[in-house]
Protein backbone atom coordinates (compact mmCIF):
# COMPACT_ATOMS: atom_id res chain seq x y z
CA UNK A 1 0.00 0.00 0.00
CA UNK A 2 2.84 2.35 0.92
CA UNK A 3 4.59 1.67 -2.42
CA UNK A 4 1.32 2.16 -4.30
CA UNK A 5 0.76 5.53 -2.70
CA UNK A 6 4.29 6.65 -3.58
CA UNK A 7 3.79 5.52 -7.18
CA UNK A 8 0.40 7.20 -7.53
CA UNK A 9 1.69 10.45 -6.11
CA UNK A 10 4.33 10.57 -8.84
CA UNK A 11 1.93 9.61 -11.64
CA UNK A 12 -0.70 12.12 -10.60
CA UNK A 13 1.54 15.04 -9.67
CA UNK A 14 0.10 14.89 -6.17
CA UNK A 15 1.26 15.61 -2.64
CA UNK A 16 0.06 14.23 0.66
CA UNK A 17 -0.03 16.74 3.49
CA UNK A 18 -0.42 15.21 6.95
CA UNK A 19 -1.19 16.83 10.26
CA UNK A 20 1.02 16.07 13.27
CA UNK A 21 -1.85 14.11 14.89
CA UNK A 22 -2.21 11.64 12.03
CA UNK A 23 -1.52 7.92 12.36
CA UNK A 24 2.18 6.92 12.02
CA UNK A 25 1.67 5.14 8.68
CA UNK A 26 -0.04 8.23 7.25
CA UNK A 27 2.77 10.48 8.47
CA UNK A 28 5.28 8.09 6.86
CA UNK A 29 3.73 8.45 3.43
CA UNK A 30 3.33 12.24 3.57
CA UNK A 31 5.41 14.76 1.66
CA UNK A 32 4.92 17.27 4.39
CA UNK A 33 3.93 16.92 8.06
CA UNK A 34 3.04 19.89 10.16
CA UNK A 35 0.58 21.89 12.21
CA UNK A 36 -2.32 23.89 10.79
CA UNK A 37 -0.17 26.92 10.01
CA UNK A 38 2.61 25.04 8.26
CA UNK A 39 0.19 22.87 6.34
CA UNK A 40 -1.54 26.03 5.11
CA UNK A 41 1.81 27.36 3.94
CA UNK A 42 2.72 24.03 2.30
CA UNK A 43 -0.63 23.96 0.50
CA UNK A 44 -0.03 27.48 -0.73
CA UNK A 45 3.49 26.76 -1.95
CA UNK A 46 3.22 23.31 -3.51
CA UNK A 47 3.41 23.14 -7.32
CA UNK A 48 1.44 19.85 -7.28
CA UNK A 49 -1.88 19.56 -9.12
CA UNK A 50 -3.58 17.39 -6.52
CA UNK A 51 -3.40 17.88 -2.74
CA UNK A 52 -4.46 14.96 -0.55
CA UNK A 53 -5.10 16.47 2.83
CA UNK A 54 -4.65 13.98 5.66
CA UNK A 55 -6.18 16.03 8.42
CA UNK A 56 -9.62 17.28 9.35
CA UNK A 57 -12.14 19.07 7.17
CA UNK A 58 -11.50 22.69 8.20
CA UNK A 59 -7.82 22.22 7.32
CA UNK A 60 -8.58 20.85 3.87
CA UNK A 61 -11.02 23.73 3.40
CA UNK A 62 -8.23 26.20 4.26
CA UNK A 63 -6.00 24.50 1.68
CA UNK A 64 -8.79 24.80 -0.90
CA UNK A 65 -9.27 28.50 -0.09
CA UNK A 66 -5.56 29.14 -0.65
CA UNK A 67 -5.38 27.03 -3.81
CA UNK A 68 -8.45 27.68 -5.96
CA UNK A 69 -6.59 26.36 -9.02
CA UNK A 70 -5.68 23.01 -7.39
CA UNK A 71 -7.75 19.99 -6.57
CA UNK A 72 -7.90 19.37 -2.82
CA UNK A 73 -9.23 16.04 -1.57
CA UNK A 74 -9.77 14.64 1.92
CA UNK A 75 -9.60 10.87 2.51
CA UNK A 76 -12.55 10.74 4.94
CA UNK A 77 -15.44 13.22 4.88
CA UNK A 78 -16.29 12.40 8.48
CA UNK A 79 -13.06 13.98 9.73
CA UNK A 80 -14.65 16.86 11.60
CA UNK A 81 -13.60 18.83 14.66
CA UNK A 82 -15.54 19.38 17.90
CA UNK A 83 -13.94 22.80 18.32
CA UNK A 84 -14.73 24.09 14.83
CA UNK A 85 -18.31 22.81 15.20
CA UNK A 86 -18.88 24.85 18.36
CA UNK A 87 -19.33 28.13 16.47
CA UNK A 88 -22.78 29.53 15.71
CA UNK A 89 -22.29 31.81 12.70
CA UNK A 90 -25.46 33.81 13.42
CA UNK A 91 -24.14 34.75 16.86
CA UNK A 92 -20.88 35.95 15.32
CA UNK A 93 -22.87 38.12 12.88
CA UNK A 94 -24.86 39.59 15.80
CA UNK A 95 -21.65 40.38 17.67
CA UNK A 96 -20.36 42.22 14.61
CA UNK A 97 -23.58 44.24 14.38
CA UNK A 98 -23.40 45.16 18.06
CA UNK A 99 -19.71 46.02 17.84
CA UNK A 100 -19.13 47.97 14.61
CA UNK A 101 -15.65 48.89 15.87
CA UNK A 102 -14.94 45.32 16.98
CA UNK A 103 -12.35 42.91 15.66
CA UNK A 104 -13.03 39.19 15.23
CA UNK A 105 -9.97 36.95 15.59
CA UNK A 106 -10.64 33.33 14.66
CA UNK A 107 -8.40 30.43 15.46
CA UNK A 108 -7.63 28.47 12.31
CA UNK A 109 -9.80 25.64 13.71
CA UNK A 110 -12.96 27.15 12.22
CA UNK A 111 -14.99 26.48 9.10
CA UNK A 112 -14.82 28.78 6.13
CA UNK A 113 -18.07 30.66 6.85
CA UNK A 114 -16.58 31.75 10.19
CA UNK A 115 -13.23 32.69 8.64
CA UNK A 116 -15.14 34.78 6.09
CA UNK A 117 -16.70 36.77 8.96
CA UNK A 118 -13.34 37.31 10.66
CA UNK A 119 -10.80 40.10 10.47
CA UNK A 120 -7.93 37.77 11.28
CA UNK A 121 -7.35 34.05 11.29
CA UNK A 122 -4.64 32.93 13.72
CA UNK A 123 -2.90 29.83 15.02
CA UNK A 124 -1.40 29.15 18.42
CA UNK A 125 1.96 30.22 16.96
CA UNK A 126 0.89 33.78 16.08
CA UNK A 127 -2.27 34.53 18.14
CA UNK A 128 -0.41 36.66 20.70
CA UNK A 129 1.23 38.84 18.05
CA UNK A 130 -2.05 39.33 16.21
CA UNK A 131 -4.15 40.27 19.25
CA UNK A 132 -1.35 42.51 20.54
CA UNK A 133 -1.37 44.44 17.25
CA UNK A 134 -5.04 45.45 17.69
CA UNK A 135 -5.48 48.87 19.35
CA UNK A 136 -6.62 48.45 22.95
CA UNK A 137 -9.70 50.64 22.50
CA UNK A 138 -11.19 48.18 20.00
CA UNK A 139 -13.24 45.27 21.36
CA UNK A 140 -11.94 41.86 20.36
CA UNK A 141 -13.93 38.66 19.99
CA UNK A 142 -11.68 35.60 20.05
CA UNK A 143 -13.13 32.31 18.92
CA UNK A 144 -13.74 29.44 19.24
CA UNK A 145 -11.30 28.05 21.83
CA UNK A 146 -11.89 29.34 25.37
CA UNK A 147 -8.65 27.95 26.76
CA UNK A 148 -6.53 29.58 24.08
CA UNK A 149 -8.56 32.79 24.54
CA UNK A 150 -7.95 32.74 28.31
CA UNK A 151 -4.25 32.14 27.70
CA UNK A 152 -4.06 35.13 25.33
CA UNK A 153 -5.95 37.39 27.78
CA UNK A 154 -3.71 36.34 30.69
CA UNK A 155 -0.51 36.64 28.70
CA UNK A 156 -1.33 40.08 27.26
CA UNK A 157 -3.15 41.39 30.34
CA UNK A 158 -6.03 42.39 28.12
CA UNK A 159 -9.77 41.91 28.34
CA UNK A 160 -11.17 40.17 25.30
CA UNK A 161 -14.47 38.48 24.64
CA UNK A 162 -13.98 34.73 24.42
CA UNK A 163 -16.19 32.21 22.68
CA UNK A 164 -17.25 29.33 24.92
CA UNK A 165 -15.84 26.50 22.78
CA UNK A 166 -13.31 23.79 23.47
CA UNK A 167 -11.56 20.88 21.83
CA UNK A 168 -12.74 17.76 23.65
CA UNK A 169 -9.23 16.26 23.33
CA UNK A 170 -7.29 19.19 24.75
CA UNK A 171 -9.95 19.66 27.44
CA UNK A 172 -8.71 16.34 28.90
CA UNK A 173 -5.33 17.91 29.52
CA UNK A 174 -6.31 19.38 32.88
CA UNK A 175 -4.14 20.82 35.63
CA UNK A 176 -4.46 17.65 37.84
CA UNK A 177 -3.56 15.40 34.86
CA UNK A 178 -0.41 17.37 34.15
CA UNK A 179 0.55 17.76 37.81
CA UNK A 180 0.35 13.98 38.27
CA UNK A 181 2.86 13.53 35.45
CA UNK A 182 5.08 16.32 36.74
CA UNK A 183 5.29 14.64 40.16
CA UNK A 184 6.16 11.29 38.56
CA UNK A 185 8.77 12.71 36.19
CA UNK A 186 10.54 15.53 38.00
CA UNK A 187 13.41 15.56 35.50
CA UNK A 188 11.18 16.09 32.46
CA UNK A 189 10.54 19.40 30.71
CA UNK A 190 6.85 20.26 30.33
CA UNK A 191 5.59 21.24 26.86
CA UNK A 192 2.04 22.59 26.74
CA UNK A 193 -0.17 23.48 23.81
CA UNK A 194 -2.10 26.61 24.82
CA UNK A 195 -5.36 24.95 23.70
CA UNK A 196 -5.12 22.65 26.74
CA UNK A 197 -7.63 22.77 29.56
CA UNK A 198 -4.78 23.56 31.96
CA UNK A 199 -3.42 26.47 29.88
CA UNK A 200 -3.98 29.43 32.21
CA UNK A 201 -3.25 27.46 35.39
CA UNK A 202 -0.01 26.27 33.81
CA UNK A 203 0.84 29.86 33.01
CA UNK A 204 -0.07 31.41 36.36
CA UNK A 205 0.20 28.64 38.97
CA UNK A 206 2.86 26.16 37.86
CA UNK A 207 5.79 28.60 38.25
CA UNK A 208 4.83 28.87 41.98
CA UNK A 209 5.47 25.09 42.18
CA UNK A 210 8.85 25.45 40.51
CA UNK A 211 7.60 24.17 37.14
CA UNK A 212 8.20 26.36 34.09
CA UNK A 213 6.15 24.92 31.22
CA UNK A 214 6.94 25.90 27.64
CA UNK A 215 3.87 27.02 25.71
CA UNK A 216 4.26 25.95 22.12
CA UNK A 217 2.35 25.11 18.99
CA UNK A 218 2.84 21.51 17.86
CA UNK A 219 5.40 22.67 15.29
CA UNK A 220 7.09 24.66 18.05
CA UNK A 221 7.19 21.51 20.20
CA UNK A 222 8.93 19.48 17.49
CA UNK A 223 11.50 22.23 16.93
CA UNK A 224 12.02 22.60 20.67
CA UNK A 225 12.77 18.92 21.38
CA UNK A 226 15.23 18.88 18.47
CA UNK A 227 17.17 21.80 19.98
CA UNK A 228 16.85 21.09 23.69
CA UNK A 229 19.64 19.20 25.51
CA UNK A 230 16.96 17.65 27.79
CA UNK A 231 16.29 13.95 27.46
CA UNK A 232 12.73 13.74 28.82
CA UNK A 233 9.58 15.69 28.01
CA UNK A 234 6.00 15.67 29.23
CA UNK A 235 3.93 16.42 26.15
CA UNK A 236 0.55 18.09 26.68
CA UNK A 237 -1.27 17.85 23.37
CA UNK A 238 -2.79 15.12 21.17
CA UNK A 239 -0.57 12.04 21.46
CA UNK A 240 -0.01 11.62 17.69
CA UNK A 241 2.71 14.29 17.81
CA UNK A 242 4.95 11.92 19.77
CA UNK A 243 5.55 9.73 16.72
CA UNK A 244 6.97 12.70 14.82
CA UNK A 245 9.03 13.84 17.82
CA UNK A 246 10.58 10.39 18.23
CA UNK A 247 11.38 10.27 14.52
CA UNK A 248 12.91 13.73 14.28
CA UNK A 249 14.56 13.82 17.72
CA UNK A 250 15.27 10.16 18.54
CA UNK A 251 16.85 8.84 21.74
CA UNK A 252 14.67 10.92 24.06
CA UNK A 253 11.66 10.05 26.26
CA UNK A 254 8.30 11.56 25.39
CA UNK A 255 5.64 11.15 28.06
CA UNK A 256 2.05 11.92 27.07
CA UNK A 257 0.43 14.19 29.66
CA UNK A 258 -2.79 12.20 29.13
CA UNK A 259 -2.73 8.87 27.29
CA UNK A 260 -6.35 9.31 26.23
CA UNK A 261 -5.75 12.65 24.52
CA UNK A 262 -6.46 11.07 21.14
CA UNK A 263 -8.52 12.77 18.43
CA UNK A 264 -10.87 10.24 16.87
CA UNK A 265 -11.45 12.57 13.90
CA UNK A 266 -7.75 12.69 13.06
CA UNK A 267 -7.47 8.92 13.39
CA UNK A 268 -10.25 8.33 10.84
CA UNK A 269 -7.65 8.70 8.09
CA UNK A 270 -5.89 5.43 7.32
CA UNK A 271 -3.29 4.52 4.71
CA UNK A 272 -5.98 2.67 2.73
CA UNK A 273 -8.15 5.78 2.66
CA UNK A 274 -5.20 7.91 1.53
CA UNK A 275 -4.62 5.43 -1.29
CA UNK A 276 -8.29 5.46 -2.34
CA UNK A 277 -8.39 9.24 -2.13
CA UNK A 278 -5.37 9.50 -4.44
CA UNK A 279 -6.60 6.86 -6.86
CA UNK A 280 -10.19 8.12 -7.22
CA UNK A 281 -9.47 11.78 -6.41
CA UNK A 282 -12.12 11.83 -3.68
CA UNK A 283 -13.52 13.55 -1.65
CA UNK A 284 -13.15 16.91 -3.33
CA UNK A 285 -13.22 19.89 -1.00
CA UNK A 286 -14.53 23.00 -2.69
CA UNK A 287 -15.52 26.35 -1.25
CA UNK A 288 -17.99 28.85 -2.78
CA UNK A 289 -16.01 31.66 -4.39
CA UNK A 290 -17.38 34.61 -2.40
CA UNK A 291 -16.79 32.84 0.91
CA UNK A 292 -13.33 31.76 -0.20
CA UNK A 293 -12.36 35.31 -1.15
CA UNK A 294 -13.43 36.75 2.19
CA UNK A 295 -11.80 33.92 4.15
CA UNK A 296 -8.59 34.30 2.15
CA UNK A 297 -8.29 37.95 3.22
CA UNK A 298 -8.40 36.96 6.91
CA UNK A 299 -5.86 34.16 6.32
CA UNK A 300 -3.52 36.41 4.33
CA UNK A 301 -3.61 38.96 7.18
CA UNK A 302 -2.36 36.17 9.44
CA UNK A 303 0.53 35.41 7.09
CA UNK A 304 1.79 38.98 7.63
CA UNK A 305 2.51 37.95 11.22
CA UNK A 306 4.26 34.70 10.30
S1 LIG B 1 -7.60 17.60 18.29
FE2 LIG B 1 -9.37 18.88 18.86
S3 LIG B 1 -9.05 20.78 17.72
FE4 LIG B 1 -7.75 19.21 16.75
S5 LIG B 1 -9.04 18.33 15.14
FE6 LIG B 1 -9.32 17.04 16.96
S7 LIG B 1 -11.17 17.90 17.92
FE8 LIG B 1 -10.41 19.46 16.50
Cα–Cα distance measured from residue 274 to residue 272, given in angstroms and rounded to the nearest whole number: 5
Q: What pLDDT sits at residue 282? A: 98
Residue nearest (by alpha carbon) to ligand 1 atom 3: 167
pLDDT digits (tens, 9 = 90+) for 254-276: 999 999 999 999 999 999 999 99
Task: Please state the rounded mean pLDDT for residues 119-125.
Answer: 94
Looking at the structure, do residues 124 and 201 belong to the same domain, yes or no? Answer: no
Task: With respect to residue 297, please indicate whether it lies within any of the assigned structural domains.
Answer: no
Q: Is the distance from CB of 54 to CB of 19 less than 8 angstroms?
A: yes
CATH for 235? 3.40.50.10800
- Rounded mean pLDDT of the chain? 95
Looking at the structure, do residues 74 and 6 belong to the same domain, yes or no? Answer: yes
Spell out which residues line ligand 1, taking CB within 6 angstroms: 56, 81-83, 109, 167, 169-170, 238, 263, 265-266
Task: With respect to residue 299, please indicate whether it lies within any of the assigned structural domains.
Answer: no
pLDDT digits (tens, 9 = 90+) for 23-59: 999 999 999 999 987 897 898 899 999 999 999 999 9
Number of domains in the chain: 3
Looking at the structure, do residues 33 and 99 belong to the same domain, yes or no? Answer: no
Task: With respect to residue 27, please indicate whether it lies within any of the assigned structural domains.
Answer: yes
- Lowest-pLDDT choice from 10-19, 175-184, 234-243: 175-184
Number of CB atoms found within 10 A of residue 246's CB: 15
Domain that holds residue 188: 170-256
Task: With respect to residue 294, please indicate whether it lies within any of the assigned structural domains.
Answer: no
Contacts of residue 113, Cβ cutoff 8 Å, sequence gap at least 6: 89, 291
Tell me which of 61, 82, 239 to substitute to probe ligand 1's pocket, judged by most ligand atoms within 8 Å of the beta carbon: 82
Looking at the structure, do residues 88 and 118 belong to the same domain, yes or no? Answer: yes
Looking at the structure, do residues 224 and 279 belong to the same domain, yes or no? Answer: no
Residue nearest (by alpha carbon) to ligand 1 atom 1: 263
Residue nearest (by alpha carbon) to ligand 1 atom 7: 81
Q: What pLDDT sits at residue 42? A: 92
Task: With respect to residue 303, please indicate whether it lies within any of the assigned structural domains.
Answer: no
pLDDT digits (tens, 9 = 90+) for 154-174: 999 999 999 999 999 999 999
Task: Please state the rounded mean pLDDT for residues 6-25.
Answer: 98
Looking at the structure, do residues 12 and 70 belong to the same domain, yes or no? Answer: yes
Task: With respect to residue 211, please indicate whether it lies within any of the assigned structural domains.
Answer: yes
Amino acid sequence: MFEEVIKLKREKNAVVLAHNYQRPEVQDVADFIGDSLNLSLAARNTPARLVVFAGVYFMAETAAVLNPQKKVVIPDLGAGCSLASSVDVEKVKKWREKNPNGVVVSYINTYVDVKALSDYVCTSANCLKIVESIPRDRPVLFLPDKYLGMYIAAKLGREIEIWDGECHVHAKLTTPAILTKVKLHRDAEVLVHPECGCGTACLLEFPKLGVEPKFLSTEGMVNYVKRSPSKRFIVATETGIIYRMAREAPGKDYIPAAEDAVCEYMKLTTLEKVYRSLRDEIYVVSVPRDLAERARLAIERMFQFT
